[in-house]
């Protein structure tokens, strides 16, 4: 089954949703023509700023080109409504504008005769009276709309909507009748999928046009044949309006689009390249709700791994993160009857705009129960402690993709740019398959995360809390990517053991018994010793981690021999003299002597066979996680965290 089939097959569950009528879209109006009910009184024309007036209004079919005149009912460009020429058009622009205006008037006249709608008749009368005088500042491509004083919009009339749907069907349907590939009924077939969709605000509307019988030969010969899979107008229109509904994003208080909606999440935005924009659209064949609360829908579960957090508190996990595990355990209608869940399906498509066409980057289908299991397994493998120890949760997909592009070291926030290019759409596709269908995560995550993790964080002033938070969030996402690769194929106890330094499952963890993990932990202890021994306590411009982290995995024995010698000869004696040997560790109530931490790490390394040979990629990841976990455990707890907030660890079970 493909995207169009799924949209049609699940159309019945959207009957109660606020779908736009077939052939309609939300349109930004530039000029409002308000017509008086009094005869002889001239209409008033007012200019509207972008976003001030957005109407659900008719749109022309997707085959409207610069060389074809195709009027739109009641809402159209100034050139159609008033006959103002568009000087940018080729040929005789005045003649073209005259023809456009005539076709526009003819269309309204046809609508008035067929519907007998009073408002449409009044608009037609006003246009024919030649009293419309648009202001000189109006541009030929500005959109105009009509209203009869304070009456309902004429485009909201059911009769007008039905007329427009029939009119478009007549314009697009071919003379040949064939069996529709979607509904299996013999009907007139449309030449093209008639309507466009807007994926993201600020991007052009695009047409879902890739429905060739064979995407590679187009019915035989790409240069001669235009044979498409036969689709009737009703199915094409239904698919278009459902897709428009699914793509709708929520808006914030400033009327700007968020990065998510009920059925869609923006995975990547790219202002320079249209194909760099990626939006995931998802839905179920039949709507299901939680047995605990009807407010919880299955889409709420689906969004957990890919929806970015709305806000990032400075001292606690985001609200969504702390609710993650409970939400993943939510039972849904049919959970007790497996047969009911097996008949329902989960669908997900990743879409990108490519000039005037919509590109389907990925298409996934999975059973509802399997989807929920796969998401839970993915999140268990992903979740990890925050760098400052505030809690355990999993960074969403956009944050992880962003983190795998290390940033330059600059003080100005607006000048920070990635050093490493994006991972590319193939990695995104494989990650989505991992999340929803249970396939292994892409190995490229490990090499990218290791590469970015080795690059020191840019130096940031202690007062710049927002940039510090963003920097820690990126580091958390890098560590989570490594943990995902290492533990995805492991059991749940191993996944939970690798969430932080001390857990109830450490004795059963393979990684925590290995020398690479404990070498990483030892490096974090040595760094803490150096920082505490510095004159100001926080005055180390370049730490031993900045200098030796990249080299440590290639020659652990040599590097650590030097670092331990430096600590025992220079730093530890100073801490002893100044009575600074006691450190607060998050997993213990009482302070711990730093010598004990160093000894414990060294004992674990000796038990594993001593300092290892040069480390391979997986061993380097274990090293990085040991360093990350130990560093988080030694990070001082913020004073403004309340007692109840400190217990929010994302819910380790």
Q: Is pTM beyond 0.95 here?
A: no
In a domain, 541, yes or no: yes
Report how many domains make up the chain: 3
Clarify whether residues 152 and 206 are in a common domain.
no
In a domain, 584, yes or no: yes
In a domain, 484, yes or no: no
Predicted confidence (pLDDT) per residue in 440-463, tens digit: 999 999 999 999 898 877 666 666
Clarify whether residues 557 and 631 are in a common domain.
yes
Clarify whether residues 100 and 202 are in a common domain.
no
Clarify whether residues 526 and 619 are in a common domain.
yes
Helix (H, G, I), strand (E, B) or coil at 524: helix
Q: How would you class 203 by CB atoms within 10 Å of its CB: exposed for 0-12, middle for 13-18, buried for 19 or more?
A: middle
Clarify whether residues 122 and 235 are in a common domain.
no
Q: Pick from 166, 189, 214: which residue ends a domain?
A: 166
Q: Pick from 214, 246, 278: which residue ends a domain?
A: 246
Predicted confidence (pLDDT) per residue in 269-324, tens digit: 876 777 778 899 999 998 887 767 767 888 989 999 999 988 778 878 888 887 78
Clarify whether residues 44 and 121 are in a common domain.
yes
* Lowest mean per-residue pLDDT among 85-94, 373-382, 504-513, 590-599: 85-94
In a domain, 531, yes or no: yes
Query: What is the overall mean pLDDT for the chain?
Result: 83
Q: Pick from 246, 279, 299: which residue ends a domain?
A: 246
The pLDDT of residue 225: 44
Clarify whether residues 57 and 110 are in a common domain.
yes
Query: How are beta strands 31-35 and 143-148 bridged, if at all?
Result: parallel
Sign of CA dihedral 65, 67, 72, 75: positive
Residue 411's pLDDT band (boundaries 50, 70, 90)? Answer: very low
The pLDDT of residue 40: 74
In a domain, 397, yes or no: no
Segment (H or E) for 575: helix 572-577
In a domain, 639, yes or no: yes
Clarify whether residues 622 and 580 are in a common domain.
yes
CA distance linking residue 30 with residue 87, whole number of Å: 19
In a domain, 373, yes or no: no
Clarify whether residues 199 and 80 are in a common domain.
no
Expressed as residue numbers, the domain containing 199 is 3-16+173-246
Clarify whether residues 159 and 223 are in a common domain.
no
Question: CB count, 10 Å around CB of 320?
Answer: 18
Which distant-in-sequence residues (6+ apart) come within 8 Å of 259 by Cβ?
249, 265, 266, 269, 307, 308, 398
φ, ψ of residue 424 to 5 degrees: the values are 95, 160
In a domain, 364, yes or no: no
The pLDDT of residue 484: 97
CA distance linking residue 28 with residue 620, whole number of Å: 53
Clarify whether residues 11 and 29 are in a common domain.
no
Clarify whether residues 585 and 522 are in a common domain.
yes
Predicted confidence (pLDDT) per residue in 355-388, tens digit: 667 888 899 999 988 999 999 999 999 999 999 9
């Amino acid at each position: 089954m493909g995207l169009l089939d799924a949209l049609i097959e699940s159309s019945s569950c959207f009957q109660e949703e606020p779908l736009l009528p077939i052939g309609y879209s939300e349109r930004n109006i530039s000029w409002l023509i308000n017509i008086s009910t009094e005869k002889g009184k001239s209409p008033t024309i007012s200019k509207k700023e972008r976003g001030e007036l957005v109407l659900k209004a008719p749109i022309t079919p997707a085959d409207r080109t610069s060389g074809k005149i195709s009027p739109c009912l009641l809402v159209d460009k100034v050139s159609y409504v008033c006959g103002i020429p568009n000087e940018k058009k080729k040929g005789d622009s005045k003649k073209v504008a005259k023809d456009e205006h005539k076709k526009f008037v003819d269309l309204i006249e046809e609508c008035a005769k067929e519907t007998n709608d009073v408002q449409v008749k009044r608009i037609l009368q006003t246009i024919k009276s030649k009293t419309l005088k648009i202001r000189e500042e109006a541009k030929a491509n500005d959109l105009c709309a009509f209203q009869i004083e304070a009456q309902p919009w004429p485009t909201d009339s059911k009769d007008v909507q039905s007329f427009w749907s029939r009119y478009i069907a007549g314009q697009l349907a071919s003379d040949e009748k064939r069996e529709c590939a979607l509904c299996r009924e013999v009907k007139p077939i449309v030449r093209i999928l008639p309507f466009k969709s807007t994926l993201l605000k600020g991007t052009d509307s695009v047409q879902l046009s890739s429905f060739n019988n064979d995407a590679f030969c187009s019915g035989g010969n790409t240069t001669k044949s235009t044979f498409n899979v036969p689709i009737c107008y009703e199915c094409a229109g239904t698919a278009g309006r459902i897709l428009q509904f699914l793509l709708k994003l929520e808006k914030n208080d400033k009327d700007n689009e968020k990065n998510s909606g009920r059925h869609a999440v923006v995975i990547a935005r790219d202002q320079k390249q249209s194909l760099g924009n990626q939006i995931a659209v998802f839905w179920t064949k039949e709507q299901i709700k939680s047995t605990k609360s009807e407010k919880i829908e299955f889409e709420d579960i689906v969004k957990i791994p890919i929806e970015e957090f709305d806000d990032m508190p400075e001292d606690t996990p985001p609200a969504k993160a702390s609710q993650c595990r409970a939400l993943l355990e939510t039972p849904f209608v049919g959970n007790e009857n497996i047969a009911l869940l097996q008949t329902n399906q989960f669908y997900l498509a990743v879409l990108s705009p490519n000039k005037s066409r919509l590109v389907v980057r990925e298409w996934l289908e999975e059973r509802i129960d399997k989807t929920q299991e796969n998401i839970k397994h993915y999140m268990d493998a992903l979740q990890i402690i925050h760098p400052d120890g505030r809690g355990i949760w999993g960074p969403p997909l956009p944050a992880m993709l962003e983190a795998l592009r290390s940033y330059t070291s600059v003080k100005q926030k607006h000048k920070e740019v990635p050093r490493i290019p994006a991972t590319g759409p193939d990695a995104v596709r494989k990650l989505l398959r991992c999340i929803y269908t249970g396939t292994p995560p892409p190995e490229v995550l490990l090499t990218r995360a290791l590469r970015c993790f080795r690059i020191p964080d840019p130096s940031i002033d202690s007062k710049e809390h927002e940039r510090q938070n963003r920097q820690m969030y990126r580091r958390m996402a890098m560590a989570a990517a490594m943990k995902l690769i290492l533990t995805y194929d492991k059991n749940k106890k191993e996944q939970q053991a690798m969430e932080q330094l001390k857990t109830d499952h450490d004795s059963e963890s393979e990684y925590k018994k290995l020398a690479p993990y404990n070498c990483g932990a030892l490096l974090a202890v040595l760094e803490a010793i150096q920082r505490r021994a510095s004159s100001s306590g926080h005055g180390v411009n370049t730490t031993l981690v900045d200098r030796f982290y990249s080299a440590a995995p290639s020659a652990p024995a040599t590097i650590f021999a030097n670092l331990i010698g430096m600590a025992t000869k220079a730093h530890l004696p100073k801490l002893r003299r100044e009575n600074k040997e006691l450190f607060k560790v998050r997993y213990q109530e009482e302070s711990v002597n730093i010598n004990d931490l160093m000894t414990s790490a060294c004992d674990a390394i000796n038990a594993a066979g001593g300092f290892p040979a040069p480390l391979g990629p997986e061993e380097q990841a274990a090293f990085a996680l040991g360093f990350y976990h130990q560093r988080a455990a030694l990070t001082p707890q913020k004073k403004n965290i309340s007692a109840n907030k400190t217990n929010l660890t994302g819910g380790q079970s």
